[in-house]
């Protein structure tokens, strides 16, 4: 029986319940065998994160501890190069059987930025793309992506066929939460409890992260 593996990459600076609740709902609703959260090492599209890669990784590890369907994959942090998603996809693909489904999970904002990604046109050769709604992101997809969606999307993520090549939009509990908002709250001495798991909340305060 073919496996179904999801991957959600991100800076996770820090990880928050918008990431985690989306990941868990996708994993449960679309019968994933495993969903991997993959922290970026050197995000190619953004400024350097405010805390170390090791600290971002530790927060994601704390956040998924004890949740069987979610795990952390640190391969991008072990690589001494920018975190190109195409490289991550290829290395995950190499570990799977040809018929296994690999689902690249992207929030709407990340999906809209896809055409700036390294070798982005090859991504669908190796995975399907699942797009999460992002209620806090008011962005329009460029025409090239609208054309791609018209050509490759299926209405129901349950009907994705084969190991790769299609796009589906998923429904998950909309949570208008971003890491930017959390960093801003912390920098202005406000409390981020309930926006991140309690273990991450403790970690942030123990290590005094994001408190300018």
Site residues, ligand ATP (CB under 6 A) = 8, 10-13, 18-19, 22, 106-107, 109-110, 132, 134, 175, 177-180
Kindly state the smallest distance separating residue 180's Cβ from ligand ATP, in Å.
3
Kindly state the smallest distance separating residue 18's Cβ from ligand ATP, in Å.
2
Kindly state the smallest distance separating residue 49's Cβ from ligand ATP, in Å.
8
Q: Which is nearer to ligand ATP, 1 or 178 (CB)?
A: 178
C-alpha angle with apex 33: 28 to 37, nearest 5 degrees?
80
Q: Which is nearer to ligand ATP, 12 or 30 (CB)?
A: 12
Q: Which is nearer to ligand ATP, 54 or 99 (CB)?
A: 54
Contact of 16 with 136, CB cutoff 8 Å: no
Kindly state the smallest distance separating residue 182's Cβ from ligand ATP, in Å.
8
Q: Which is nearer to ligand ATP, 22 or 83 (CB)?
A: 22
Q: Which is nearer to ligand ATP, 115 or 162 (CB)?
A: 115
Q: Hey, CA dihedral for 182, 195, 15, 4, is it positive or negative?
A: negative
Kindly state the smallest distance separating residue 149's Cβ from ligand ATP, in Å.
16
Q: Which is nearer to ligand ATP, 11 or 164 (CB)?
A: 11
Name, in order, each residue with C-beta under 8 angstroms of 143's C-beta and a sequence gap of 6 or more. none
Kindly state the smallest distance separating residue 26's Cβ from ligand ATP, in Å.
10
Q: Hey, CA dihedral for 61, 52, 103, 173, is it positive or negative?
A: positive
């Amino acid at each position: 029986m073919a496996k179904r593996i999801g991957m959600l990459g991100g800076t996770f600076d820090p990880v928050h319940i918008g990431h985690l609740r989306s990941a868990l709902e996708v994993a449960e609703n679309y019968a994933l065998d495993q969903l991997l959260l993959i922290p970026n090492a050197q995000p190619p599209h953004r400024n350097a994160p405010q805390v170390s890669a090791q600290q971002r990784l530790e927060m994601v590890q704390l956040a998924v501890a004890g949740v069987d369907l979610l795990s952390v994959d640190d391969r991008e942090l072990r690589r001494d190069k920018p975190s190109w998603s195409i490289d991550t996809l290829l290395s995950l693909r190499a570990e799977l059987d040809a018929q296994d489904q690999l689902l690249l999970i992207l929030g709407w904002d990340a999906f809209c930025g896809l055409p700036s990604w390294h070798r982005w046109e090859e991504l669908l050769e190796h995975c399907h793309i699942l797009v999460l709604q992002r209620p806090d992101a008011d962005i329009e997809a460029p025409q090239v992506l609208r054309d791609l969606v018209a050509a490759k999307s299926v209405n129901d993520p349950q009907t994705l066929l084969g190991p790769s090549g299609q796009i589906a939009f998923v429904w998950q509990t909309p949570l208008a939460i971003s890491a930017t908002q959390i960093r801003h709250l912390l920098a202005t001495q406000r409390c981020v409890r309930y926006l991140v798991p309690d273990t991450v909340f403790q970690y942030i305060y123990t290590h005094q992260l994001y408190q300018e």
